[in-house]
Amino acid sequence: MITKEIPYFDIFQICNSGQCFRMQQTGDDTCQVIAGEYNLKIKQEGSRCTFFCTEEEFESFWEDYFDLQTDYGAYRDKINPKDSYLYQAAEFGKGIRILKQDLWEMIVSFLISQQNNIPRIRRCIQNICQQYGKSVKTEEGDTFYTFPKPESLAVLGEDDLKSCNLGYRSKYVVRTARMISNGEVSLEEIEKMSYKKAKEELLKLFGVGEKVADCICLFALHHLEAFPMDTHMIQALEHHYKRGFPKRRYQGFQGVMQQYIFYWELFGLKNG
DNA sequence: TGCCAGGCTGATA
DNA sequence: TATCAGCCTGGC
C-alpha cells in the first residue's frame, strides 16, 4: 500500500472519460483497475491517493500507466484564455490523464466500441476476458481475468464472439486477431512507429477506421497528437468552432484537449 | 414498437 | 470519390 499527494489526478474522471473500460468506481472514494496481470484498488480523498499495491509495483507499472510524471497543468496553461468553452471544459476535467494502456487490449476495446455504449462495452470485454482470458487469484482470494492474447482469439470462428454480446463486431475482433497472430501486422513494430505511420498500419486491421485508429493511438501508444472524432466531437466542434478547432495552437497535445471537450460534452453540460 | 448509440464495410453510382 | 444500407443488441 502506498499513499501519495497527486495534484490534478481524479480517478473518477478517468473512470468516466471513456478511455479505459476495465477501470470502475467501486465505492464513494474507491475504484478498481485491471491491467495486464495486475488488479489494483485505489482510494482517493482530495489529492491524497492510496494505491493498494507494493511500492515496487507502483513504480514499475502504475506510475507510468497513469502518466503521473507529466504536468497536465502545463497543457492547460497553453489554452487560449479567450476560448471560454475550452477553458471551462479543461477546468471541469482537470483530473483527467491520458493512460498508457496495452495496445492489443485497446484495439479490441475500440473495435467493440463502435455503435455501442459504455456499460455494454464493459460487459462485452468482461465476457471475453472471462471466457478466453486467464484467471488470476488475488491475495484477498478474489478472482479476476486477464485480457486474452491475440492467439487465443485468432483460433475462433468469426461469429464465436457473438456469444460474448459483440454482435456484428465479432468478426472484426477475430479477423484482426488472426492478422496479428499470423504476423501480417506487428504490434511490436507499431509501438515503435510515429503517429502517422502507426495510424496507417492500424487502418489495415479489419474493422478499424479513422476514429478507432485515433483512439488506439491516443490511449495505447500515447500519441497525444491523435484527435479522435466521434459523433459527440463532431457536434461540439460544429457548434463551438465554426472555423475549425485550432489544432495548430495545441500541436503535439491536441489529444489532451480532445479529452477535455469529450468529457465536458458528456458530463459537464448535464451537471451544470 | 421503433429508434438510436463513442463506426465500419462493401456495394453502387 | 461519394453516398448509403446493413450490421448486433439493449435501453428508452
Mean pLDDT along residues A228-247: 89
What is the enclosing helix (H) or strand (E) of A3? strand A2-5
Residue A82: other Cβ atoms inside 10 A: 7
Q: Give the pLDDT confidence score for residue A231 in this predicted structure.
A: 87
Task: Check pLDDT > 80 for residue A272.
Answer: no
What is the enclosing helix (H) or strand (E) of A238? helix A231-240
Å between CA of A239 and C1' of C3 = 24
pLDDT digits (tens, 9 = 90+) for A189-218: 999 999 999 999 999 999 999 999 999 999
Tell how far CA A188 is from the center of its chain.
19
Mean pLDDT along residues A228-236: 89
Å between CA of A116 and C1' of C12 = 15
The one catalytic residue in A149, A162, A211, A247 is A211
**Residue nearest C9, CA–C1′ metric:** A167
Instruction: Note the strand B nucleotides within 7 A of protein beta carbons.
Output: 5-9
Question: Average per-residue pLDDT in chain A?
Answer: 94
Q: Give the pLDDT confidence score for residue A256 in this predicted structure.
A: 96
Task: Check pLDDT > 90 for residue A127.
Answer: yes
Task: Check pLDDT > 70 for residue A169.
Answer: yes
Q: Give the pLDDT confidence score for residue A235 in this predicted structure.
A: 86
* Strand C contact with A115 (CB < 7 A): yes
Å between CA of A108 and C1' of C6 = 22
Q: Give the pLDDT confidence score for residue A270 in this predicted structure.
A: 58
Tell how far CA A224 is from the center of its chain.
12
3-state per-residue secondary structure call for A182-200: CCCCCHHHHHHCCHHHHHH
Across A19-149, where does the E strand assignment appear? 23-25, 30-35, 38-45, 48-51, 135-137, 143-145
What is the enclosing helix (H) or strand (E) of A5? strand A2-5
**What distance in Å separates the CA atoms of residue A187 and residue A103, rounded to the nearest whole number?**
7
pLDDT digits (tens, 9 = 90+) for A10-58: 999 999 999 999 999 999 999 999 999 999 999 999 999 999 999 999 9
pLDDT digits (tens, 9 = 90+) for A69-119: 999 999 999 999 999 999 999 999 999 999 999 999 999 999 999 989 888
Fold of A103-219: Endonuclease III; domain 1 (1.10.340)
Give the pLDDT band (50/70/90) at residue A271: low
Please tell me whether the overall predicted TM-score, pTM, comes out greater than 0.85 for this model. Answer: yes
**Measuring CA to CA, which residue among A171, A227, A168, A169 is closest to residue A199?**
A227
Measure CA of the first residue to CA of the last residue in chain A; give whole Å: 36
Å between CA of A69 and C1' of C2 = 45
The reply to whether A270 belongs to the active site is: no
The full set of domain ranges for chain A reads: 2-69, 103-219, 231-268
CB-based contacts of A193, cutoff 8 Å, min separation 6:
A201
Task: Check pLDDT > 90 for residue A243.
Answer: no
3-state secondary structure of A93: coil
* Strand C contact with A120 (CB < 7 A): yes
Instruction: Give the amino acid at A4.
Output: K
Task: Check pLDDT > 90 for residue A269.
Answer: no
Contact between A128 and A108 under an 8 Å Cβ cutoff? The reply is: yes
Looking at the structure, give the CATH architecture of the domain made up of residues A2-69.
Answer: 2-Layer Sandwich (3.30)
3-state secondary structure of A8: coil
CA atoms within 13 A of residue A143's CA, in its CB half-sphere: 7
